[in-house]
């Protein structure tokens, strides 16, 4: 099975091809803008390097957020277009599970994958060392942050750009350390997670493409009386 992984949810852009035999071709670049320009050429480059055509793909794995609103939609729109045109299933993965994938946690630790959401908040999701989710992805206020009861005594293994903020908020409560894994999502990790997903649950259904996971409402205030003066 050939899996194309795509990510533009955070300040990085990446594409990776995980092939049937396990060969991996990947491109990754940190960037705060320019994802929409960089993504398709990166996808083209990994396929070309592997010597396969888009029609040889079996599955597309894409991050659905949380991340920047616009960035999240860049890879997701591309993936949905690609999936529709090739009649391929598209598997959506949270950017937090993709962040957690390369983190090597010790027994008893929780992987805390986070993304700086600004405004004193982070996007946070917790995982067991085998990547089983221990919490749902959530937008969390840093001030007064605590983890749910049964997780409150666990040491943490931190990954993601929210790590420093999370460490500051929780260091008096939890033993914690940096995971050493990359702090931005990697499409290669998305492809590996997708492979594991298929082994566990089979291919996702066709024609049911993933939706973005924003976790934060759009900034829009309803005007009083619809803005009417009289």
Partner 1 sequence: MTLSRDMIVLGLETSCDETAAAIVRRRADGTGELLANQILSQMDHAAYGGVVPELAARAHVTHLDALITAALSEAKLDFTDLDGIAATAGPGLIGGVLVGLMTAKGLAFAHGLPLIGVNHLEGHALTARLTDEAPFPYLLLLVSGGHCQLLIVEGVGRYERLGATIDDAVGEAFDKTAKMMGLGYPGGPAVEKAAASGNADRFALPRPLTGREGCDFSFSGLKTAVRKALLDLEEVGPQDKADLAASFQKAVGDILARQTGKALEMAGARLGPAPRLVVAGGVAANRYLRTRLEALCQERGAQLIVPPPKLCTDNGAMIAWAGAERLALGLSDPLDLAARARWPLTDLAAS
Which residue ranges make up the site for partner 1 (CB under 8 A)? 34, 36-41, 43-44, 54-55, 69-70, 73-86, 209, 211-212, 214, 218-223, 225-230
- Shortest separation between residue 107's beta carbon and partner 1, angstroms: 40
- Shortest separation between residue 88's beta carbon and partner 1, angstroms: 9
Question: For residues 13 and 169, which CB has a smaller minimum distance to partner 1 in the complex?
Answer: 13
- Shortest separation between residue 34's beta carbon and partner 1, angstroms: 8
Question: For residues 68 and 183, which CB has a smaller minimum distance to partner 1 in the complex?
Answer: 68
- Shortest separation between residue 125's beta carbon and partner 1, angstroms: 21
- Shortest separation between residue 45's beta carbon and partner 1, angstroms: 11
Question: For residues 81 and 108, which CB has a smaller minimum distance to partner 1 in the complex?
Answer: 81
Q: Are 20 and 59 in contact (CB under 8 A)?
A: no
Question: For residues 137 and 210, which CB has a smaller minimum distance to partner 1 in the complex?
Answer: 210
Placement of tokens 């008096």 in the chain: 172
Question: For residues 27 and 73, which CB has a smaller minimum distance to partner 1 in the complex?
Answer: 73
């Amino acid at each position: 099975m050939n899996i194309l992984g795509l990510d533009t949810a955070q300040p990085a852009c990446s594409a990776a091809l995980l092939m049937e035999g396990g060969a991996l071709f990947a491109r990754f670049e940190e960037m705060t803008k320019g994802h929409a320009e960089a993504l398709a050429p990166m996808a083209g480059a990994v396929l070309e390097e592997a010597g396969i055509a888009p029609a040889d793909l079996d599955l597309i794995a894409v991050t659905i957020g949380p991340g920047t609103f616009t960035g999240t939609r860049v890879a997701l729109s591309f993936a949905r277009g690609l999936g529709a045109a090739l009649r391929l299933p598209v598997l959506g993965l949270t950017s937090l599970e993709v962040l957690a994938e390369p983190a090597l946690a010790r027994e008893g630790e929780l992987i805390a994958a986070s993304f700086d959401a600004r405004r004193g908040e982070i996007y946070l999701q917790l995982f067991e060392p085998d990547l089983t989710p221990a919490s749902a992805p959530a937008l969390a206020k840093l001030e007064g942050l605590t983890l749910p009861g049964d997780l409150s005594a666990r040491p943490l293994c931190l990954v993601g750009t929210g790590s420093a903020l999370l460490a500051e908020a929780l260091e008096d409560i939890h033993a914690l350390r940096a995971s050493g894994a990359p702090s931005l999502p990697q499409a290669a990790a998305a492809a590996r997670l997708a492979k594991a997903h298929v082994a566990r649950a089979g291919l996702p259904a066709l024609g049911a493409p993933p939706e973005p996971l924003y976790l934060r409402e759009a900034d829009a205030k309803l005007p009083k009386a619809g803005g009417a003066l009289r």
